[in-house]
Amino acid sequence: MRKGNPVDGRRIHRFPGSVTDPAPLLVVPADTAVRRRDWRHVHNAVIPTDPLSDGDVQERAGRNRLEVAYRGTELVGCSTVRPATDLEPVTVIVRVLPELRGQGVGRALYAHCTRGLRGPVQTVVLASNEDGLAFALRRGFVEVDRYVLDGDSVEYVDLRRD
């Protein structure tokens, strides 16, 4: 697991720690090469069926809000917020490293990403990620579609919350 100093004077959001782990959760923009690599590491760990390159992440950063979450200095998760379009509502995707799930990281990161949003929100979860599906369903999302990417064998699940 990568450890470092994610705080360098840029915009950060702090969330209090828990009783079992008092280190605060820090959410920072993936606006440096190191942070984009951290974002990529979490994405590829959570979605191994669609690994991204550094170039893929750079391209996504140009059209979406990418953020990285650290507990203290430990990398724990990342998020993507895709802006709404004329045809689609805003998309919020939260990813937590599998070994760190169930510790409140996803809940805090999701709350951060959806703060101030109005109207419908959609998300997408790898069907094999039972934790992620359960997380979305507990937050009122309902399944609207399942599909498999070309050349892949694992389903993705599109969910929406109105």
Over the stretch 90-147, which tens digit does the pLDDT of each residue have?
Answer: 999 999 999 999 888 999 999 999 999 989 999 999 999 998 999 999 999 999 999 9
Q: Taking 50 as the threshold, does the pLDDT of residue 34 lie above it?
A: yes
3-state DSSP assignment of residue 9: coil
The pLDDT score that the predictor gives to residue 73 is 87
The pLDDT score that the predictor gives to residue 153 is 86
Percent of the chain with pLDDT over 70: 86
The pLDDT score that the predictor gives to residue 161 is 96
Model confidence at 22, pLDDT cuts 50, 70, 90, reads low
The pLDDT score that the predictor gives to residue 12 is 44
3-state DSSP assignment of residue 161: strand
The pLDDT score that the predictor gives to residue 7 is 46
Query: How confident is the model over 26-34, as a mean pLDDT?
Result: 95
User: Mean pLDDT score of the chain, rounded to an integer?
Assistant: 87
CB neighbour burial string for 124-156, b if at least 16 within 10 angstroms, e if fewer: bbbeebeebbebbeebebeeeeeeeeeeeeeeb
The pLDDT score that the predictor gives to residue 126 is 93
Q: Taking 80 as the threshold, does the pLDDT of residue 23 lie above it?
A: no
Model confidence at 19, pLDDT cuts 50, 70, 90, reads very low
Q: Taking 50 as the threshold, does the pLDDT of residue 56 lie above it?
A: yes
The pLDDT score that the predictor gives to residue 49 is 86
Query: How confident is the model over 5-28, as a mean pLDDT?
Result: 57
78 near 39, Cβ under 8 Å?
A: yes
Strand partners for 156? 126, 147
Q: Taking 50 as the threshold, does the pLDDT of residue 9 lie above it?
A: no
